[in-house]
Amino acid sequence: MTGYQSSPLPRRRSVGVDVGGVTVGGGAPVVVQSMTNTDTADVDGTVAQVAALAKAGSEIVRITVDRDESAAAVPRIRERLERLGLDVPLVGDFHYIGHKLLADHPACAEALAKYRINPGNVGFKEKKDRQFGAIVETAIRYGKPVRIGVNWGSLDQELLTALMDENQAAGAPLTADEVTREAIVRSALLSAQAAEEIGLPRDRIILSAKVSRVQDLVAVYTALAGRSDHALHLGLTEAGMGSKGIVASSAAMGILLQQGIGDTIRVSLTPEPNGDRTREVQVAQELLQTMGFRQFVPVVAACPGCGRTTSTVFQELAQNIQADLRRNMPLWRDKYPGVEELKVAVMGCIVNGPGESKHADIGISLPGTGETPSAPVFIDGRKAATLRGADIAAEFEKMVADYIEA
């Protein structure tokens, strides 16, 4: 049989960019990044959140630098993180007065691993060129890369108007949405060109063009990927809360990643009421892992359950195992190289239980309704034990821990 495409398209060739020791693009694995939502001037709060994001697996963390107080806090945050043994690169997110903040706070310019510029709000007309140029010159002086981050919500209005007029004069071949998409792409490409003309090399430029609709994101990044070889940062902006944000981000970025487009991703989720910001890192990792691009945590295969099992033991067991594995990963990563490749199966009954468990490194098939109350455990494809009684879950969790140790 032929004709099955079993893998994504080859990765688009992009110029690699070193962001504080983490390579983005140039064939490097797709990087997971995130952003804090603390007031950067609050050093304690920001250090705590950056640390939580980094420990959850964020390989780059962006922080807002919006005023003098936050710019002054950046070197202190960097220092505190280093004292905690965390070397995660920090990116400064600048809007409106980035040129001034970087000029007035050289220690901030030095402490950051990358500057994010939004060409849509860096100024107007000659002022825009001057202020954009000032940030690029600072990046050249300090040897830092920049991300030229276009966002449809703050799109360069001069450029959009010019393209609308151009489209009108040509008899309106493009729809208003298509003109907006073109303006987004053109804003990124023209800004990159301007930065290169000032002297910033291409291996220090990353592009992004964030929009909030899935089809727009796919269209814009596909165009951007076809018209440049800059490293690309993917992200759906204002993706939304909970499952809506997760599905929208995964759908949009999944399509692009499958086409080989994207060198770093950020999943932007409206924070949960409990304020846990690490969820976006977990979703980004799961997206890359589910698609087979990277492996971050051991996989727990669990059946969905059905009428053949009335017990919730297997659901709780699957959740506990997944939570334990995730929690222990920062510790295990160095101690047990390759642990992220582990596959654990937790199945609800005999129908698919033994088969799935045999395919895992370690798996358990719990007893379904009406079955003998015993749970065979398979290790490396062979039946290794049969658990019985009230402590099946605890015993299996211990067996997983022992397996990892072994």
Element (H, E) at 328: helix 313-335
Q: Which residues contact 228 (CB under 8 A, 6 or more apart)?
A: 189, 192, 207
C-beta of 89 vs 363, nearer to ligand SF4: 363
Burial class, 50, CB count within 10 angstroms (exposed 0-12 / middle 13-18 / buried 19+): buried
Which positions ≥6 away from 98 have C-beta within 8 Å?
65, 92, 115, 117, 122, 131, 135
Q: Which stretch binds ligand SF4 (CB under 6 A): 66-74, 108-116, 232-240, 344-352?
A: 344-352
Residue 245 or 353 with smaller CB distance to ligand SF4? 353
List the one residue out of 216, 212, 140, 220 whose CA is nearest residue 186.
220
* 347 counts as binding ligand SF4 under rule CB under 6 A: yes
How would DSSP label each residue in 148-170? EEEEGGG--HHHHHHHHHHHHHT
Q: x/- contact string, 288-327, with ligand SF4 (CB under 6 A)?
A: ---------------xxxx-xx------------------
108 marked among binding-site residues: no
> 349 labelled as ligand-binding?
yes
Judged by CB under 6 A, the number of residues near ligand SF4 is 13
Q: In this complex, which beta carbon is closest to ligand SF4, that of residue 145 or of residue 348? A: 348
List the interface residues with ligand SF4, window 145-184 (CB under 6 A): none
Residues 350-379 touching ligand SF4, rule: CB under 6 A, are 351-353, 368
The DSSP H or E segment spanning 5 is none
- The DSSP secondary-structure symbol of 336 reads S
Minimum CB separation of residue 365 from ligand SF4 in Å reads 8
Kind and range of the H or E run holding 24: strand 22-24
The sign of the torsion formed by the CA atoms of 239, 244, 246, 249 equals negative
Stretch binding ligand SF4 (CB under 6 A), from 4-12, 31-39, 238-246, 349-357: 349-357
Residues that bind ligand SF4 (CB under 6 A): 303-306, 308-309, 347-349, 351-353, 368
Binding-site positions for [4Fe-4S] cluster read: 303, 306, 349, 356
Binding-site positions read: 303, 306, 349, 356
